């Protein structure tokens, strides 16, 4: 009789243990992603300053949907995370896989993926998860890593998967390449310099995805 897969919770420690992953810093893929600068249009600088101030003064009191509507949507718009016919943003999409005897099931707050037709994600490259304030809420980093593992398993191309998780104003970026899981230091989106670095990272992500599509 075939053994039932173990249902894995979205707890970062459980996931790291199940797949024998370390939590590393200073990886080449992560450094190459984050150590970039791009020109930001004057009108976008004005918008970013108003968003930064709004997050600083009201963000602590936002729920998940308010964070998306008042802040994240504008950052994604400025970063232009889409390429017609190649990849686009999806929200609240499920991912499921059974990997090495573990059942992984997660809802992705946001992902960048190649579309299947128009309305469904097919091949994912990047995931963003938000911290939920409610009691007993899923672990944002655990959700992100679980989604990255499913994408790695489904894509089967030995290329890096990119991710980011938010805890209020703080952003942490991550890469997964084979068994190498790597995370950045935190970026505070209420800090102007850090906010620009977040935009640079999102803009460079587009180039990294295009390179993967060409490989």
pLDDT-derived band of residue 137, with 50, 70 and 90 as boundaries? low
Assigned domain for 107 exists: yes
Question: 127, 185, 160, 140: which is closest to 12 by C-alpha?
Answer: 140
pLDDT, position 64: 86
pLDDT, position 2: 66
pLDDT above 90: residue 117: no
Assigned domain for 117 exists: yes
Q: What are 74's two structure tokens? A: 């504008």
Domain assignment of residue 68, given as a range: 6-214
Tens of pLDDT along 57-101?
999 999 888 999 999 999 999 999 999 889 999 999 999 999 999
Q: What are 105's two structure tokens? A: 């099931």
Assigned domain for 106 exists: yes
Assigned domain for 14 exists: yes
Assigned domain for 1 exists: no
CATH of the domain at 27: 3.90.1570
Diameter of the chain measured on Cα atoms: 64
Assigned domain for 109 exists: yes
Tokens 């991912």 correspond to 95
> For the chain, how many structural domains are there in total?
1
Residue bearing the bigger pLDDT, 168 or 17: 17
Neighbours of 36 (CB within 10 A): 15
Q: What are 119's two structure tokens? A: 């309305």
First-to-last alpha carbon distance for the chain, in angstroms, is 41
Backbone angles phi, psi at 124, to 5 degrees: -85, 150
Tens of pLDDT along 10-51?
899 999 999 999 999 889 999 999 999 999 999 999 999 999
With a CB cutoff of 8 Å and minimum separation 6, the contacts of 39 are none
Assigned domain for 197 exists: yes
């Amino acid at each position: 009789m075939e053994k039932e897969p173990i249902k894995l919770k979205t707890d970062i420690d459980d996931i790291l243990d199940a797949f024998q992953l370390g939590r590393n810093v200073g990886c080449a893929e992560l450094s190459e992603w984050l150590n970039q600068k791009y020109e930001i249009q004057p009108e976008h600088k004005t918008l970013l300053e108003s968003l930064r101030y709004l997050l600083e003064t009201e963000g602590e009191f936002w729920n998940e949907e308010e964070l998306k509507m008042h802040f994240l949507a504008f950052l994604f718009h400025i970063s232009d995370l889409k390429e017609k016919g190649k990849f686009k943003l999806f929200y609240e999409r499920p991912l499921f896989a059974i990997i090495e005897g573990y059942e992984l099931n997660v809802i992705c707050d946001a992902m960048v993926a190649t579309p299947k037709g128009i309305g469904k994600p097919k091949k994912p490259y990047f995931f963003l998860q938000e911290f939920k304030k409610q009691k007993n809420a899923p672990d944002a980093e655990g959700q992100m890593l679980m989604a990255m593992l499913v994408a790695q398993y489904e894509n089967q191309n030995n290329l890096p998967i990119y991710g980011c998780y938010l805890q209020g104003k703080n952003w942490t970026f991550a890469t997964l390449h084979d068994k190498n899981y790597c995370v950045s230091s935190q970026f505070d989106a209420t800090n102007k310099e850090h906010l620009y670095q977040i935009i640079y990272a999102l803009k460079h992500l587009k180039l990294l995805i295009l390179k993967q599509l060409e490989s």
